[in-house]
Amino acid sequence: MSSAEWVAYARQLHEGSVLPAGTFDTQFTFAQALSESAKAAKNTLLVVSIPASDNEIGGEWGLRALSRLKNAIGRVESSWRPASPDEGFEIVRRRLFEPLHEKQAFVARDAVARAFVEMYGTQHSEFPSECREAEYERRIKLAYPIHPELFDRLYNDWSTLDKFQRTRGVLRLMAAVIHSLWERQDGNLLIMPATIPIDDPAVQSELTRYLDDQWTPVIAKDVDGEHSLPLRLDREAPNLGRYSACRRVARTIYVGSAPTQRAANRGIDDRQVKLGCVQPGETVATFGDAIRRLTDRATYLYIDGSRYWYSTQPTVTRLAEDRANQFHEHDVLDEIVRRLRDEARSRGDFHRVHACLGSSDIPDEREARIVILGPEHPHTKGQADSPAREEAQGILDNRGSSPRSYKNSLVFLAGDSTRLKDLQTAIRQYLAWKSIWDEREQLNLDPFQSKQADTKRKNADDTVNARIPEAYHWMLVPSQPDPKGSLEWTEIRMQGSDSLAIRASKKLKSEEMLLVQMGGVRLRLELDRVPLWRGKDVPVKQLVEDFATYLYLPRLRDPDVLIAAVREGLPLLTWQVETFAYAQSKDADGRYLGLVAGAAAAVQVESGSLVVKPDVAAEQQRKDAETAREKAGDTQTGRADSEQPTGQDQTTGGDTSAGTDTGKPTPPVAPVYRRFHGAVQIDSLRVGRDAGRIADEVILRIPLNSATDSI
C-alpha cells in the first residue's frame, strides 16, 4: 500500500467538512485499527511507504496528514530503509541485463575491474583516494557493466531532486541510456558518466524532466549535441577528438553538477571529472587539456578553484569571448610589442637588446647586439623571402638612410608565422579578461564572477608568457664563410625556458657564433687566415673595427674580448711561432716603440698601439741587441785607453811613438753579459708546475762560466 495516495486523499478532508468517507480524524482512526488488525492476524503483512518529497506531500494539510499517519502506524511498524547504492547495483542489473552465467563472462568482468583499479593506483594523484582501495574493485564488479561513479552521482545527487525517485528514476534513465548505447554499438569497457549519450532525445528527456526548462539550451550549447561547443572543440584538436575528450568531460560535469545547483558546495572537482571520463589505456593529461579548453570558451560552465559546474546563468566567459573578437589587430600587436620590450631587460651575453625597432633606431655600434623583430615580421622555416628575412636584411644593410658599418655585431630573432597566431589568440583573451576585471564595478559582477574574472585574467597572462618563447624561436644569423663569397643567413631554432636573449646567447656560444673570450693563438690564426695584417703590423684599433665589420670574422661580444686575446698572447714563450708581439707606437723610421714580446703588457686601443708580426719584432730585437753590444764595446775600449798615460807604452813605460805601428785599428772587445733579467706570469694554483717549466726552458739553457755568473 502506498501512503502517498492515502495522504493525498486525507489532506482534502478539511475540518468541518461532511463527506461520506468520514472526517479527517476518522481516516487515521481507521489506519490505527487496520495496523492493529494486521498485527493480530496470521500470515498478514501491511506495507506502508512514506513519501519523501514535498511535492508528494502537498502543502500544510499534507504535512498534517503524513504526521498523523506516521503516528498511527508507528506504534507497530518495523522500518525498512530504502535500497543502498550497492543494492541499487543489483536491482538495475537484474532489471536491465541478463545475469552472468558463463565463466568467460566472469573472467572478462574481473579483468575490466583489475584494469581500472591498476590505472587508479598508478596515477593516484589524478583520481580520488578511495579508488585505490580494494573495496572499489569489489564495487566495480558489483556494478558491472556500469561504473560505480555513475551510480554514486545518481543515488547521491540526482535523488535529492523532488521529482526524481531513487530507484524508479535510476531505472528509467539507465534503460534509455543502455538502449541508446546498444543501438550505437558502443564499445566502452563500462557505462560511465562520460559515456551517457545526452545528445539522444530519449536520454536527454530523462535528464531534463527533473530540472528546470532552462537546462535544454544549456545542454545544446555547452554539453552535447550536433552544434555544441565540446563537439566543435574535439573537431578542432585531433588529439582531443581521438577520445571525444571535450564531450566526455562536458557530460561528466553535467551529470555531476546539474542536480546540485542549490547546494552549498556546488559541482565536482577535477579528480571526479577524470574519474568519470578516463578508461584504461587513455592519457589522463588529454582530459585535463579538455577541461582547460572548455573553461576558456564555455558560456555556462563555472569554475571555482578545482571545482566545476554548469549553471543556467551565463558566465562572464561569453562576455570575454565577445570582447576578444572585438579587439583591433593593432591593439593585439601593441601588447605583443610591450611584452617583447619587457623581455629586452634580460640581455644575456649581448651588450644590448633591441626589441621591435626600425633600422634608424638601432645604433651602429661595435658591441654584439640582438634585434627582436616585431610580430608583423614573422618567419617560416626555409623561406628565404619571409618578412623576417627581408626586415633583417634591411636593418643589416642600413641604419636609416646611411649604410651600416658594423654588420658583424648584429643577430636577429623572429617569431614563427604559425605560433604567432596562437600568441595573438592568447593576447586577445588576456586583453578581454583584463578589461572585464578593470570594469567589474561597472559590469556589476557578483563576488564569484569577480573572482572568476581575476582568475581568468591571471591564467591568460601566464598563457601569454608561456607562448612568447614558443613563438619567438627563430634566430637569423648573418655570416660569410668565404671572405670573397656572398652573405649567407643561418636560421637556428632555439629551445629552453630562459628569457629570449639568454637562450639566444647560449645557443650562439655553443655554436661558436658568439665569442665571449678568445685566446691569443686563435687571434693569430685569424690574423693569418684573411689576412688582417697591414704590412708588418696592424693597429689594435683597426682590429677592433675589422671584427665588428666583416662577417667572415668571428663575432665578438665587445672589443674587450679582442684586447684580452692580445694580452693573453703576449707572454707566451712560443710567441715567435704561435702569437705575436705588441708595440705602443711606431716612429717615422718604422722602428717600434715600447715593443713587447714574450712578456706581459698593458694593451691599449686608442693610443696608436700595434700588433706586430713576430718575425719583424724578433728582427728588431736582434738589431737592438747588436747595437747595445757595440755601445758596450766602445765604452770598454774608451775606459782602457783612459787608464794608461798618453803616448807611453803600458809595458815598457816608453814613448809609444818609438814603437812599431802596424797601421791596423784594434778591434773592439765584445762585452760579456753576466746578469740577465726576465718576467713571466705564474698560475697561483700551479706554481710548482710553472716553476719547473721555467727551470727547464731558461736556467738550464744558460752556460755559467764562473762563480761570478748569476741569473
Taking only the tens place, the pLDDT of each residue in 197-228 is 999 999 999 999 888 888 999 999 999 999 99
Q: Which of 74, 106, 122 is the C-terminal boundary of a domain?
A: 74
**Is the pLDDT higher at 52 or at 621?**
621
**Is the pLDDT higher at 553 or at 87?**
553
- pLDDT at 551 exceeding the cut of 60: yes
pLDDT of 667 reads 55
Q: How confident is the model at residue 78 (pLDDT cuts 50, 70, 90)?
A: low
What is the rounded average pLDDT of the residues 589-596? 91
> What residues contact residue 508 under an 8 Å CB cut-off, 6+ apart?
411, 475, 477, 492, 514, 555
> What residues contact residue 58 under an 8 Å CB cut-off, 6+ apart?
7, 8, 11
Q: State pLDDT tens for residues 124-174.
A: 899 999 998 889 999 999 999 999 999 999 888 888 887 777 778 888 999
What is the overall mean pLDDT for the chain? Answer: 85
For the chain, how far is it from start to end, CA to CA, in angstroms? 126
358 and 237 in a common domain: no
Q: Which of 311-320, 369-378, 492-501 has the highest mean pLDDT?
A: 369-378
Amino acid occupying residue 697: E
Q: What count of other Cβ atoms lies within 10 Å of the Cβ of residue 238?
A: 8
Reading across the β-sheet that carries 610-612, which strands appear in turn? 537-539, 610-612, 581-583
490 and 410 in a common domain: yes
What is the rounded average pLDDT of the residues 669-674? 58
Q: State pLDDT tens for residues 278-293.
A: 999 999 999 999 999 9
Q: Which of 476, 505, 534 is the C-terminal boundary of a domain?
A: 505
- pLDDT at 655 exceeding the cut of 90: no
Domain that holds residue 693: 672-711
Q: Which of 41, 74, 107 is the C-terminal boundary of a domain?
A: 74
**Which of 359-368, 426-435, 675-684 is predicted least confidently?**
675-684
SS3 for 692? helix
377 and 474 in a common domain: yes
276 and 351 in a common domain: no
- pLDDT at 63 exceeding the cut of 70: yes
- pLDDT at 231 exceeding the cut of 70: yes
Which ranges of 145-283 would DSSP assign to H, the alpha helix? 148-152, 166-183, 201-208, 215-218, 229-236, 238-241, 245-257, 270-275
451 occurs within a structural domain: yes
What is the rounded average pLDDT of the residues 569-591? 92
Share of the chain above pLDDT 90, in %: 56
319 occurs within a structural domain: no
638 occurs within a structural domain: no
pLDDT of 701 reads 58
> β-strand 398-399 against 402-403: which pairing, if any?
antiparallel
**Which of 85-89, 643-647, 658-662 is predicted least confidently?**
658-662
104 and 9 in a common domain: no
332 and 235 in a common domain: no
Q: Can you read off the three cell numbers belonging to residue 9? A: 486523499
Q: How many domains does the chain have?
A: 5
What is the rounded average pLDDT of the residues 540-552? 95
pLDDT of 658 reads 39
What is the rounded average pLDDT of the residues 377-396? 94
Give the whole-angstrom CA distance, residue 241 versus residue 615: 75
Q: How confident is the model at residue 504 (pLDDT cuts 50, 70, 90)?
A: very high
Q: Can you read off the three cell numbers belonging to residue 80? A: 525498512
81 occurs within a structural domain: no
239 and 277 in a common domain: yes
510 occurs within a structural domain: no
606 and 495 in a common domain: no
Q: How confident is the model at residue 648 (pLDDT cuts 50, 70, 90)?
A: very low
Return the exposure string of 364-398: e unless at least 16 CB atoms fall within 10 Å of the residue's CB, then b: bebbbbbbbbbbebbbbeeeeebbbbebbbebbee
The three-point CA angle 73-79-84 to 5° equals 145
Q: How confident is the model at residue 670 (pLDDT cuts 50, 70, 90)?
A: low
